[in-house]
Homo-oligomer: A and B are copies of this chain.
Amino acid sequence: MPSTLDVALPHPFDPLGTVEIEEAISIVTKAHGELFFNVVSLLEPRKAEMTAWLANPDTAPRPTRVAEVVAIAKGGKVYDGLVNLAEGTITKWELLNGLQPIITMEELIAVEHICRKDPKVIEQCELSGVPREEMHKVYCDPWTIGYDERFGSQVRLQQALMYYRPDVDTCQYQYPLDFCPIFDVEKQAVIHIDIPKVRRPLSKTKPIDYHPTAVEATGGYRQDIKPIHITQPDGVSFQITGREIEWQRWKFHIGFNYREGIVLNNITFNDKGTVRPIFYRLSLAEMVVPYGNPEHPHQRKHAFDLGEYGAGYMTNSLSLGCDCKGAIHYLDAEFPTRSGGTRTIKNAICIHEEDAGILFKHTDFRDDSVIVTRARKLIIQQIFTAANYEYAIQWIFHQDGTIQPDIKLTGILNTYALNPDEDTDGWGTQVYPGVNAHNHQHLFCLRIDANVDGPRNTVFAVDAVPSEHPVGSAENFYGNGFGAKRTKLDTTGNAATDYNGATSRTWDMVNPSKIHPYSGKPASYKLVSREVPGLLPKEGSLVWKRAGFARHAVYVTKYRDDQLWPAGRHVPQTSGEPSQGIPEWIGDGSESVEDEDIVLWHTFGVTHIPAPEDFPVMPAEPITLLLRPRNFFLSNPVLDVPPSYACTPSQVAAAGAGALDATDRMSRLAFETNGAAACCGS
C-alpha cells in the first residue's frame, strides 16, 4: 500500500492531471472510437472509502483514481462513462436519452463563425442595418438555450445572442441585434431564427468604450493615484503540500473541477492540538441567472452558469500584479479538449494573505490600558468569465474560525436592443441610448457538506424573537425580553426554509453530541447570510421548474455520493418536468436529516436592476456571507495571535514598563517625512 509520503501519487482529492486525462481519453477512444469529450474529470472518492483512508492513510486502502467521462459520439449520442485509471478499465458506459451534457468552450466558439455565414442570419443582419460585407463585424454570444418547448431536449442546441462591433475593439454590448438564431450543434447549422414582432434596427449612437484608446480620446486617465505596495519580505504564512494548505490552524485540500471551479475538501481546524473537522466539502455547486423580461424569447435567458458551462471551464488564467497583489501562490487547472487533447489553464487559482484590520481590541477607560491585535486573512480566489459577466469568487478564511465566501460581480451587462422612445416597460433599464439591460438575478447555490466535529449533524433555523409574554406581565414586565428561537429541521421537507429578514434568520449546523461545557449548546457552525432575494420567477414558471434548488434559501439532504449538482447532473435543455437535483432527492420530504451525515444547500445572491453606472463595464458589486463557529471553541480561539500592542493596567501604572510593543514599523504618517510615530499608550 503506498504511503501518503509518496509525493508522486496524487492525493485522492486532487483533480485529474494531464497524464490521467490523456489516459482516460485513450482508454475510451480505444474502446469506442472517436468522440467529442465534454467531461473528463475526477470521480470523487466514495465518502466512506475516503473517510476511512483519511483516518488511516497508512493502513486503509487508498481510494482508486477514477475518471468520469461524458462524451458525444457522431449522431449526437451522449455517453456517461467511468474509467478506472488504476486498472485501465471502463467500468461504466451508458448511452443517455434526451439528456444534454455541459457545453464546452469549443462548442460555444464555433457558433459565431457559422452564424456569420448563414444566409438567413445575413438577411436578418441586413434588415437590421448591417450590410453583408460587414458580417465580420457581427458577433454572437452563444448561450445555452435553456429550454425551448418547440425543440425539446433530443437535439443539442444553443441560442445565439447577436451583436455588432463597428470596430473590433468596441464593446459589442452597446450594439445588440434584435433577432436570435437557434444553432444545432450536431448539424453545425442555424435551424431557426426568432424574430421579434417589433423590429429594432442597429443603434446609430456613437460608442462608449473602456479600452485605453477610447479613454485617452475622452480626457485620458486620472493621474492622481499613488501606488500602494504590499510585500511580505519574510514570505507567506501558509504552507502548501501538493494541494493541501495549512494556515493559522486551518488545513484543507484545494480541489478544482470543470463545473464548480474551486472545491475545498476536508476542512479542519487545529484547536490546541485537536484536529477538528468542520466541512467535508465546500463549493459553489450551481448558479442560475434568470432574466426578468417576460417577452419571448427572453424567458430563455436564465443560464445555469455552472451546470451548463462550468465555472472551471470558464475560469481565467490569473496574473500577478493585476488580478492578485502581494505574495501569491498559484495552482493550475487541467482539462480535456473537446477533440480529445488536453489544455492547461495556468494560474487558475490564486492564494494569498491580506491584512484584515483589527482582530480584536479593548481599552480600559480607567487607565487606557489596551490591547490591539491585527487580523490576517487567507484568500483562495478564482475569476471566471461567463460570456458578458465576470465572477470573482473568493473563499476567505479568518483566523477566528470564520469562513467567508465572497463574490464580486463585474464584467458587462447582457443587453438587448431598444428603439428610440421605446419603453422598457419596467423589465429593464436603458443604460445607454438603444441599449436595454434586462432585470435579472444572480443566484448562487452554496453546497456545504457539513462535518462539524464529525459527520452526524443537525440543522436548526434560528430566529431572533421577542418574548412571547406581553409588556406588563410578570415574565416580561418591561417588555425587553428577547432571545433565539431554534427550530430543528428534522426532515428534508421541514428543512426547506426561506430567509426571514424580520427575525435575522440564521441556520446552525450543529453536532448534537458535542455539547459546549460552558454554554450547554451544541458545537455549531452558523450560516449568516443576508443577501437572499429568493427566486422571483413565479411558482410553476419555466425557471422555477428548472432551478428547483432556488425555490428556498436552504435545503438539507442526507449525504449520498454523487449528489453534487443541485439542478441535476446534466442541466442543458432540461424541461424541469420533473425538476432535477434537489427536488428529486427530497421526494416526499419525509427523510430524516436529524443527526445524520447531511449536506446543506444555500441559495443566495442579488436581484440586479441595471443602471447606467453599470455600463459599459460594471464596477464590482460585492456579495458576501459568513460561516461562523458558535459554541464550537471553548473560548475566543485567537487569543494567541500576537498583539500589535498590549499594555496592562499594572504596566500603565509602571509608566509602560513591560508593555508588549510589536507595532508595524513600516507604517508612516501621510504628510511627514520622518519615521513611524510611537505606538499606543505612549
Contacts and interface: CB of A to CB of B under 8 A. Distances in A.
A464 interface: yes
A376, A435, A635 interface centre (most CB from chain B within 10 Å): A635
Interface stretch (A32-40, A105-113, A179-187, A579-587): A105-113
Contacts of A617: 360, 362, 371, 636, 639
Interface in A207-236: 208, 210-213, 215, 219-222, 224-236
Contact of A630 (B224, B479, B503, B611): B611
B372 A323 contact: yes
Interface stretch (A19-27, A52-60, A190-198, A348-356): A348-356
A208 B639 CA distance: 10
A365 B385 contact: yes
A540 interface: yes
A427 interface: yes
B500 A642 contact: no
Interface residues of A, number: 201
A357 interface: yes
A607 B501 CA distance: 12
Interface string A587-619: 000000000000000000011010111111111
A291 interface: yes
A30 interface: no
Interface stretch (A42-50, A76-84, A657-665): A657-665
A530 interface: yes
Contacts of A469: 294
Interface stretch (A95-103, A122-130, A531-539): A531-539
Contacts of A322: 372, 374, 644-645, 663-664, 679-680
A282 interface: no
Interface stretch (A336-344, A449-457, A470-478, A562-570): A470-478
Contacts of A169: 648-650
Given A169-B649, A229-B229, A360-B620, A483 B292 contact: yes
A237 to B, nearest CB: 5
B669 A328 contact: yes
Given A322-B680, A390-B362, A636 B614 contact: yes
Contacts of A628: 613
A152 interface: no
Interface stretch (A66-74, A260-268, A489-497, A517-525): A517-525
A360 B410 contact: yes
Nearest to A638: B619
A373 B401 CA distance: 31
A334 to B, nearest CB: 18
Contacts of A484: 426, 439, 609
B615 A410 contact: no
Interface string A107-150: 01100100000000000000000000000000100000000000
A151 interface: no
B327 A670 contact: yes
B464 A607 contact: yes
A17 interface: no
A215 B290 contact: no
Interface stretch (A8-16, A86-94, A154-162, A541-549): A541-549
A667 to B, nearest CB: 4
Contacts of A681: 319
B466 A669 contact: no
Nearest to A669: B328
5 contacts: A220-B640, A320-B667, A361-B410, A466-B536, A471-B540
B635 A616 contact: yes
Given A211-B648, A362-B390, A371-B617, A328 B667 contact: yes
A312 interface: no
A211 B402 CA distance: 23
A541 B426 contact: no
A656 interface: no
Nearest to A629: B613
B355 A230 contact: yes
A320 B365 contact: no
A415 interface: no
B326 A667 contact: yes
Given A296-B478, A439-B483, A612-B631, 19 more contacts: A112-B366, A225-B237, A228-B376, A231-B666, A235-B671, A292-B483, A294-B481, A319-B678, A319-B682, A321-B664, A359-B619, A360-B410, A363-B385, A429-B521, A466-B536, A471-B538, A483-B609, A504-B606, A518-B612
